[in-house]
Amino acid sequence: MRSAGRVVYDVLRAVREAVRPGVTTAELNEIAERMIAETGGTALFKGVDNPPARFPFPAALCTSVNEELVHGVPGPRALREGDIVSVDCGVNLAGYCGDSATTIPVGKISTETRHLLEVTRGALDLAIESIRPGRMWSEVARKIQAYVESEGLSVVKDFVGHGIGRSMHEDPKIPNYWDAKQRQSDFELVENMTLAIEPMVNSGSPEVGYGDDDGWVVVTRDGKRCAHFEHSVAVVAGGADVLTDGR
């Protein structure tokens, strides 16, 4: 899984370096397609069906801009100064999966947008730091939610993280919030469990929905900006071991 995660890390690093005003999301995807092919890996997202989507996902990357939260389809859209683009990449290499996401500023961004990115990345860091064998996930989820809301932002509840290993999506589901409805799905963190942890944070309301008729891209209901950061992580004796940090 670390080998797959290293490919994902390298792709996201190359995409970050390529992001600038005028570049299209399709051009970012071309970088990922080429790099993944060169490793002998397979792009996890390409060909995935997800009703109500009208067609299988056609790309190696999800590229979601500004108010787009996740599952944005790369295309001719050119990034502009002040935009942010969430880039999600998944790779299967030799039968094991890696999955990671980052939200990238395009040129100079506003103070409010920078705060959104810092808090979302901080929520991921907090989750990773809080992982311990024997701890219930609810303890971690409560910390994520409390931190994000203390910063005046909101946690998305309609989309959550997931287990990961030989398949991209495995049990358990990993929410970034906690309430009474979640009690039956709580789980204990145990050694060798591998998880894709991905806080998704909105600058306004937590409500999201599908943004257009292709059935893929998810957007904020109020049109305000959002951010998404993700790592694949293994639970180990000392806490957590990040598998998509490039080591």
pLDDT digits (tens, 9 = 90+) for 120-138: 999 999 999 999 999 999 9
**pLDDT at position 212, please?**
80
**pLDDT at position 222, please?**
98
CATH number of 2-242: 3.90.230.10
**pLDDT at position 129, please?**
98
Residue 187's Cβ-count burial label (10 Å; 0-12, 13-18, 19+) is middle
**pLDDT at position 229, please?**
98
Q: pLDDT above 70 covers what percent of the chain?
A: 100
pLDDT digits (tens, 9 = 90+) for 165-224: 999 999 999 999 999 888 888 999 999 999 999 999 999 999 999 998 789 999 999 999
71-90 average pLDDT score: 98
72-99 average pLDDT score: 98
Q: Hey, CA dihedral for 78, 83, 246, 49, is it positive or negative?
A: negative
Q: pLDDT above 90 covers what percent of the chain?
A: 93
Structure tokens, 63: 């590229």
**pLDDT at position 150, please?**
98
**C-beta separation of 97 from 165 below 8 A:** yes
Is residue 11 pLDDT above 80, yes or no? yes
**pLDDT at position 22, please?**
98
Structure tokens, 166: 């030989």
User: Which distant-in-sequence residues (6+ apart) come within 8 Å of 227 by Cβ?
Assistant: 84, 86, 103, 116, 117, 119, 120, 121, 200, 201
pLDDT digits (tens, 9 = 90+) for 23-49: 999 999 999 999 999 999 999 999 999
**pLDDT at position 131, please?**
98
Mean pLDDT of the chain: 97
**Sheet containing 200-202: order of strands:** 154-155, 200-202, 226-228
**pLDDT at position 207, please?**
98
Q: Hey, CA dihedral for 122, 85, 17, 112, is it positive or negative?
A: negative
